[in-house]
């Protein structure tokens, strides 16, 4: 039961159900938060401390919000193998991201093109690919289980990370 401590989480959600409470509980557990766009605005309004993703990438959102997280400092932080890539990550000032919390835009045929999510699925699939080191959360229904496990184990177990990754691949196939 290899437990990975959760020190930093990236939150980027379309469905904001329960995200303020979840973020607050993560902070209570000592987790540093990074967030994007509307999620960041909601957390800021709720007084939840976090870093906007721009503080990591050094770039503002661009192209009307179409490009926010497609950046090596984000994907390197998600995909990096902690036991093999630590020196390279440090050289490029890439912070490890241990938990990725993403859900996708609702898909409406009327506005289909604007609601095709690129960054969200890319981040969460990267997290699922690297489930040995990273947790990937795509459902608000999992928030309480995640908090309970972090509180009880000070991180996420291998089995939990594997189950979460499986959910991602079912959702994004």
What pLDDT was estimated at residue 106?
66
Quick one: which of 18, 17, 27 has its CA closest to 47? 27
Residue range of the domain that includes 11: 3-172
Task: Report the Cα–Cα distance between both ends of the chain, in Å, rounded.
Answer: 28
Among 105, 88, 96, 91, residue whose Cα is nearest residue 130? 96
The number of folded domains in the chain is: 1
Give backbone dihedrals phi and psi of 49, rounded to 5 degrees, phi first: -65, 135
Cβ–Cβ under 8 Å, residues 132 and 165: no
pLDDT score, position 68: 64
pLDDT at residue 167 tops 70: yes
User: In which residue are the tokens 């994004």 written?
Assistant: 172
pLDDT tens-digit profile of 81-132? 988 888 888 888 899 999 999 987 666 555 655 556 666 677 788 999 999 9
pLDDT in tens, 24-81: 999 999 999 999 888 999 999 999 999 998 888 766 675 565 656 667 788 889 999 9
The CATH number of whichever domain residue 105 belongs to comes to 3.40.50.1380
pLDDT at 116: 61
Q: What's phi and psi for 10, nearest 5 deg?
A: -110, 125
CA–CA separation, 118 and 98 (whole Å): 20
What predicted TM-score, i.e. pTM, was given to this entire model? 0.90
Whole-number pLDDT of residue 67: 59
Q: Which position has the token pair 């990725």?
A: 100
């Amino acid at each position: 039961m290899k437990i990975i401590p959760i020190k930093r989480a990236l939150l980027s959600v379309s469905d904001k159900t329960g995200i303020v409470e979840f973020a607050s509980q993560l902070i209570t557990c000592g987790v540093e938060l990074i967030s994007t766009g509307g999620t960041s605005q909601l957390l800021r309004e709720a007084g939840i401390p976090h870093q906007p993703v721009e503080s990591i990438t050094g770039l503002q959102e661009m192209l009307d919000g179409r490009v926010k997280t497609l950046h090596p400092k984000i994907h390197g932080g998600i995909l990096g193998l902690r036991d093999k890539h630590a020196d390279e990550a440090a050289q490029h000032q890439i912070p490890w991201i241990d938990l990725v919390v993403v859900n996708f835009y609702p898909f409406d045929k009327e506005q289909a093109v604007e609601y095709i999510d690129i960054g969200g699925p890319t981040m969460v699939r990267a997290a699922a690919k690297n489930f040995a080191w990273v947790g990937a959360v795509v459902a608000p229904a999992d928030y309480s289980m995640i908090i309970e496990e972090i509180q009880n184990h000070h991180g996420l177990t291998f089995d939990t990370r594997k189950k979460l990754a499986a959910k991602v691949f079912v959702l994004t196939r």
